[in-house]
């Protein structure tokens, strides 16, 4: 992997470089450094001369901060994966809204960094993926929508949610409804979808964070955040461990 460390503190960059060196036996990599957003963009834009697979990005920096840089990277034709590395845990929601692969708090430990590197490798972005990892190309669902039958690629489906008499099928851009049961969908797509609640299955590839959350109906509990969606989905207490295992995997 080609990795760019972006942090305004030289000591912090040095520590991450050392940790990456300790990870070489598991994840071989070459490492570059930038002290601010301007230096980073100079290396990450097409004219920079070097392609990076991953950016380890601090948030609090003078001038444009790490969130601004992550937003700018989304405009690139082939953006690198982003892992935020910061002393502040209060920006996690904003980070995952920018499709960050992971969010590490300082001081970073080798084991936690290895997990983030593994996620970055699994979630490496391509220009126009035909199907999400683990989803056979061309696998579709038949959706009855406003009097017509429509084929929906399973690669687009972020979650299935059981309502009273139907199942909501959610993609990043819209919702559909279909007949059937959640149990049937779980049995058919279990390798790719994770049960997080009695009424919800989520795409394993889209799981980005597990957060404390208050729901008016269920009270204090946990919710999962999915890549590409602002809404949170409640996680039942019995499924919290499974979600944590998925995030750690």
Per-residue pLDDT, 141:
80
127 domain-assigned: no
- What is the rounded CA–CA span in Å between residue 168 and residue 81? 30
Give Cα separations from 49 to 52, 108, 170, 173, 212 (angstroms): 10, 29, 39, 35, 42
How deeply is 164 buried, as exposed, middle or buried, from its count of CB atoms within 10 A (0-12, 13-18, 19+)? exposed
Q: Which of 95, 122, 149 is the last residue of a domain?
A: 122
Give me the number of domains the chain comprises.
2
Residues 13 and 118 in one domain: yes
Closest CA to 69 of 27, 7, 122: 7
Closest CA to 150 of 142, 159, 158, 162: 142
Per-residue pLDDT, 213:
86
Q: Which of 71, 89, 122 is the last residue of a domain?
A: 122
132 domain-assigned: no
Structural domain including 107 reads 2-122
CATH number at residue 17: 3.40.50.2300
Residues 109 and 202 in one domain: no
12 domain-assigned: yes
Q: Which of 122, 154, 175 is the last residue of a domain?
A: 122
Residues 40 and 101 in one domain: yes
Beta bridge partners of 161: 168, 200
Residues 166 and 93 in one domain: no
Q: Which residues of the chain have pLDDT under 70?
A: 46-50, 89-98, 123-138, 144-149
Residues 149 and 115 in one domain: no
Residues 80 and 108 in one domain: yes
- What is the rounded CA–CA span in Å between residue 71 and residue 99? 9
Per-residue pLDDT, 164:
78
Per-residue pLDDT, 91:
56
Residues 74 and 33 in one domain: yes
All residues at 6 or more sequence positions from 219 whose CB lies less than 8 Å from its CB, including other chains: none
71 domain-assigned: yes
224 domain-assigned: yes
Per-residue pLDDT, 128:
37
223 domain-assigned: yes
Residues 109 and 163 in one domain: no
- What is the rounded CA–CA span in Å between residue 82 and residue 68? 12
């Amino acid at each position: 992997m080609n990795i760019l460390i972006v942090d305004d503190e030289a000591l912090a960059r040095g520590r991450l470089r050392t940790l990456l060196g300790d990870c070489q036996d598991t994840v071989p990599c070459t490492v570059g450094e930038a002290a601010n957003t301007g230096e980073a963009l100079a290396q990450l834009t097409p004219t920079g001369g070097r392609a990076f697979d991953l950016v380890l990005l601090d948030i609090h920096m003078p001038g444009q901060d790490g969130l601004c840089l992550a937003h700018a990277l989304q405009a690139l034709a082939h953006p690198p994966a982003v892992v935020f590395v910061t002393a502040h845990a209060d920006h996690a929601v904003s980070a995952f809204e920018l499709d960050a692969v992971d969010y590490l708090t300082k001081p970073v430990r080798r084991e936690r960094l290895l997990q983030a590197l593994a996620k970055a490798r699994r979630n490496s972005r391509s220009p126009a993926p035909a199907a999400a990892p683990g989803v056979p190309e061309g696998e579709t669902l038949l959706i009855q929508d406003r009097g017509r039958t429509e084929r929906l690629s399973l690669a687009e489906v972020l979650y299935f949610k059981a309502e009273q008499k139907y199942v909501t099928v959610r993609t990043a851009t819209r919702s559909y409804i279909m007949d059937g049961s959640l149990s049937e969908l779980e049995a058919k797509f279990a390798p790719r979808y994770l049960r997080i609640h009695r009424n919800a299955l989520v795409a394993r590839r889209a799981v980005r964070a597990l957060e404390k959350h208050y729901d008016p109906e269920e009270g204090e509990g946990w919710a999962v955040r999915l890549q590409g969606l602002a809404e949170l989905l409640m996680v039942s207490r019995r499924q919290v461990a499974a979600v944590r295992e998925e995030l750690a995997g």
